[in-house]
């Protein structure tokens, strides 16, 4: 018995087409999941930040990174994500920074959103920092400040590079790196975030870049020895001064008829008793 079923001459979809269709279905499912999760009531700020970053990365993977040039805008930008999600551009920019910071430092989840922003930026007013003009930030970078915050406001300092010092609060033991220049409120609450920032040396006053090796109470250049030499010189001066004063006192007592040998013996006995008490 012959089969009358017509033979199809159309080519079946190849493995590439199947993979593309599967990827498109996965992207649509991801988008639906993210949009649904963003509508949940009482969503924690760190979950929202993670979902918004995931959505932004998804769109950039689909359309490419946003670029603007002579031929016009191409790709997907942060502004496009803000418009699609109905989120202010500044708040979305903050959320994406928070998402990266929480991934690196999970302990930030226990903080309030504003506190977390201060922790990752080391600034007093992160939102104002984000709203600052791009020209100010570019000028700071050209001045050598790099990622370090440029102090603004009524500090009397203008734009400057910070002079960090490790401050430890008792009894909690909480440690921050604070700028010790007068009227500067800048501080960094996580020591790892200080690495890579420019700072003023506590020994020679020069500029250097903070690293793991320079996370000291008073950071200084790795090769700077000026402070050590000055400390040794000061110690020698104090020792010489004390020896001279002792010799003058002994000479004055000898003139008054005091038995210096007997005095030395009494002083030796007192020192021996003091050492014995300390040992106990």
pTM of the complete model beyond 0.85: no
Of residues 156, 160, 189, 185, the one with CA closest to residue 172: 189
Least confidently predicted of 95-99, 115-119, 137-141: 137-141
Residue extents of the structural domains in the chain: 22-67+75-129, 226-272
pLDDT tens-digit series, residues 184-227:
888 888 778 888 889 988 888 888 888 888 888 888 888 776 55
Mean pLDDT of 18-30: 79
Percentage with pLDDT > 90 across the chain? 7
Give the model confidence (pLDDT) of 252-261 as tens digits.
878 888 787 8
Mean pLDDT, the chain, integer: 75
Taking residue 83's Cβ as centre, other Cβ atoms within 10 Å add up to 12
Model confidence at 69, pLDDT cuts 50, 70, 90, reads low
Q: How confident is the model at residue 12 (pLDDT cuts 50, 70, 90)?
A: low
Give the burial string for 173-206 (b: 16+ CB within 10 Å, else e): eeebbbbebeebebbbbbeebbeebbbbbbbeee
Cβ-in-10-Å burial (0-12, 13-18, 19+) of 152 comes to middle
Query: How many residues are recorded in the chain?
Result: 280
């Amino acid at each position: 018995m012959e089969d009358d079923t017509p033979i199809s001459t159309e080519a079946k979809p190849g493995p590439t087409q199947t993979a593309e269709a599967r990827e498109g279905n996965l992207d649509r499912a991801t988008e639906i999941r993210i949009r649904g999760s963003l509508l949940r009531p009482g969503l924690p700020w760190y979950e929202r930040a993670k979902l918004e970053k995931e959505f932004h990365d998804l769109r950039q993977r689909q359309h490419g990174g946003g670029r603007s040039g002579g031929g016009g805008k191409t790709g997907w930008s942060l502004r496009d994500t803000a418009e699609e999600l109905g989120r202010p551009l500044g708040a979305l920019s903050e959320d994406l920074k928070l998402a990266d910071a929480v991934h690196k430092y999970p302990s930030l989840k226990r903080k309030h959103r504003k506190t977390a922003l201060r922790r990752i930026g080391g600034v007093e007013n992160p939102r104002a920092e984000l709203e600052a003009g791009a020209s100010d930030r570019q000028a700071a970078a050209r001045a050598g400040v790099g990622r370090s915050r440029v102090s603004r406001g009524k500090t009397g300092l203008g734009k400057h590079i910070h002079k960090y010092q490790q401050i430890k609060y008792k009894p909690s033991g909480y440690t921050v790196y604070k700028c010790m220049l007068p009227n500067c409120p800048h501080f960094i609450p996580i020591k790892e975030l200080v690495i890579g920032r420019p700072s003023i040396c506590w020994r020679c006053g020069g500029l250097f870049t903070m690293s793991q090796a320079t996370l000291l109470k008073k950071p200084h250049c790795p090769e700077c020895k000026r402070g050590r030499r000055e400390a040794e010189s000061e110690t020698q001066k104090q020792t010489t001064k004390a020896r001279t004063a002792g010799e003058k006192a002994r000479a004055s007592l000898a003139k008054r008829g005091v038995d210096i040998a007997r005095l030395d013996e009494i002083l030796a006995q007192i020192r021996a008793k003091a050492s014995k008490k300390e040992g106990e």
